[in-house]
Structures are given as C-alpha cells and as structure tokens.
C-alpha cells in the first residue's frame, strides 16, 4: 500500500532577521486562523492574509496583515515572498457548499496558493484538508492516513483534490507539503454542550490543532505527509498514530472527559474488554 508520507532530509529552512520562521496564514481571520495567530505570534513571524480589510480587526495585533484574494495569483506570489511556510486555511468549509463556490476557492484558489508558494521558493505548504475527504467510509471503520480517499460530499471531493495537488507539488515539484485532515474543530465550551456528544469520534480542540500545526511547521524531515487532526478521544474515527510517531504529536483533550454527559458514562479508559484481565502467563512453570 502507498505510504502516507515521504522523507527528505535536505529541506531548506528560511528565517527572518529575528531567527524565527516566517509563516503566511491564509484565512487568518477564521476560527482556526485567529486562534493559531493569537497563540503562535511569539514563536513565528506571522503574515496574516485576509480577503477584506474589515476581516483584520481581531488579528491585527498578531502579525502583519495582508489583504489578498485566492483568485489573485500575482498577489499571492507577493504575499509568499520571503516566507518559510504557508498555512493554507482559506476556502469554503461547509459540506453543503455548492460546486460553483468550491470550484473557485477550494480548487482554483488552492492551486493558486501552491503555485505562488512554489514561485516564491517557500519551504513548505501546510494544507488544511478535512475529515470529509474520507467521510464516505462506514462509521465503524477507523480510517488510516494511507487508506484511499473516500469523500462523503463534494466538499470532501475538493479536499481530495487539494491532497492530490499537495502530493504532486511535494514529489514532482519539490515543494514540501503536509495535509492535515481536520476533524470537528470546536472550542472547549462548545464541546461541553449536550449536543456535542455526537462529535465523540471526531472532535479536535483548538489547543490540540494548534499544537499539531506547530509540529508540522517545525518538522525538517518530511517531504510529504497526510496527518489526521483529532484530539485524544476515547473513540477516534481517524487514526492519529502516524502523527504521534513522526511528529511526536501529543493531544491533551478527550471529548469523553470534556463533555459532561459522556464523562458521567465513564468512557475515558474504563471501557473495552481486556483479554488479559485475570489471566496467568501461558508459560506457567516454564519460566
């Protein structure tokens, strides 16, 4: 089976005068982008891309704000100049989005971001993919990063395109690319609501995703990879072991602990039949 990652030990690391990595964040005013910008502003030199100037109100103090549209290839090239890593979060994020909107932002826009990054000699693009790229699998299957894509909607189809483009750019064009299939990104407060129990196998907390993104930025070994972005939930729709092993990803949150209804059920480590409980070693007296 095809591996979900490839290694390249010769990645070029670019730095600013401060010695920090320079990171361009597209969709910086969104829920994920603004959370990341606020918490990563001290570690990285951030260039925060918004579509409209009015979007910059809540992120203006976290980095340099750049106004640009995903359809503006020349503008994207300028935004990428001197950047070490592009964190591409912009695009339509609803599974109900129409094909016309997906085609523009999630297809053409994604291509433009990768093309601009390549033109500007960016070291790496981190692409925000989605659990929807594999949501077509039956709910009782835990999907691994190297399983074939299986989108459950057209939004997922657009994310499969982004993943394929990322692999092409990494392995044929030399632009290191990492895809994160992001699960149900919700705040701790939202995760505590009774209706959030449905996210039991897909939730990722803001701090866990921010941690995973930083791990992807800081890595210097990967040419291409697909990682699954979930918290350390008792039940996981997506397998996160590759991220643990390659990036030392260490998620802190678990919906079965955070959500009061689930917590009362005692799901955190107390469920599951252990075949070794009460058993003696099969070797008996031979050792």
pLDDT class of 278 with cuts at 50, 70, 90: low
User: Which pair of structure tokens corresponds to residue 107?
Assistant: 């297809």
What pLDDT sits at residue 56?
Answer: 86
Closest among 88, 159, 158 to 117, alpha carbons compared: 88
What pLDDT sits at residue 53?
Answer: 82
Mean pLDDT (the chain, rounded):
92
C-alpha 13: how far from its chain's center? 21
Size (the chain), residues:
287
Task: Quote the CA–CA distance of 193 and 174 in Å, as a whole number.
Answer: 44
The domains of the chain are located at: 5-271
User: Which pair of structure tokens corresponds to residue 188?
Assistant: 């701790």
What pLDDT sits at residue 110?
Answer: 98
Higher pLDDT, 52 or 242: 242
pTM, two decimals, is 0.92
pLDDT class of 60 with cuts at 50, 70, 90: confident
Task: Quote the CA–CA distance of 210 and 254 in Å, as a whole number.
Answer: 15
Which residues face 190 on adjacent strands? none
What pLDDT sits at residue 103?
Answer: 96
Higher pLDDT, 74 or 280: 74
pLDDT digits (tens, 9 = 90+) for 176-228: 999 999 999 999 999 999 899 999 999 999 999 999 999 999 999 999 999 99
User: Topology of domain 5-271, per CATH?
Assistant: Rossmann fold (3.40.50)
pLDDT class of 267 with cuts at 50, 70, 90: confident
Q: Which residues contact 24 (CB under 8 A, 6 or more apart)?
A: 47, 49, 66, 79, 80, 83, 85, 86, 87, 122
C-alpha dihedral over 187, 92, 123, 37, to 10 degrees?
-30
User: Which pair of structure tokens corresponds to residue 224?
Assistant: 């291409």
Does the pLDDT of residue 268 top 70, yes or no?
no
pLDDT digits (tens, 9 = 90+) for 161-178: 999 999 999 999 999 999
pLDDT digits (tens, 9 = 90+) for 26-47: 999 999 999 999 999 999 999 9
């Amino acid at each position: 089976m095809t591996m979900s990652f490839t290694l390249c030990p010769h990645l070029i690391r670019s730095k600013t005068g401060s010695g920090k990595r320079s990171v361009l964040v597209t969709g910086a005013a969104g829920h994920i982008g603004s959370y990341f910008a606020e918490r990563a502003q001290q570690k990285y030199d951030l260039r925060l891309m918004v579509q409209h100037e009015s979007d910059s109100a809540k992120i203006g103090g976290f980095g340099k704000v750049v106004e640009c549209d995903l359809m503006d290839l020349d503008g994207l090239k300028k935004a990428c100049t001197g950047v070490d890593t592009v964190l591409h979060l912009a695009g339509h994020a609803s599974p109900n989005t129409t094909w016309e909107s997906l085609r523009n932002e999630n297809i053409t826009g994604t291509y433009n971001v990768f093309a601009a990054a390549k033109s500007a000699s960016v070291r790496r693009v981190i692409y925000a993919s989605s659990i929807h790229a594999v949501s077509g699998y039956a709910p009782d299957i835990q999907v691994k990063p190297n399983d074939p894509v299986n989108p459950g909607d057209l939004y997922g189809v657009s994310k499969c395109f982004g993943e394929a483009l990322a692999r092409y750019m990494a392995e044929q064009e030399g632009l290191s690319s990492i895809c994160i299939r992001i699960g149900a990104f919700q705040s701790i407060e939202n995760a505590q609501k009774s209706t959030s129990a449905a996210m039991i196998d897909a939730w990722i907390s803001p701090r866990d995703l921010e941690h995973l993104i930083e791990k992807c930025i800081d890595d210097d070994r990967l040419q291409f990879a697909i990682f699954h972005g979930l918290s350390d939930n008792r039940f996981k729709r997506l397998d996160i072991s590759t991220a643990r092993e390659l990036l030392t990803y260490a998620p802190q949150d678990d919906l079965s602990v955070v959500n009061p209804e689930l917590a009362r059920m005692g799901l955190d480590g107390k469920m599951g039949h252990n075949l070794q409980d009460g058993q003696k070693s099969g070797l008996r007296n031979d050792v």
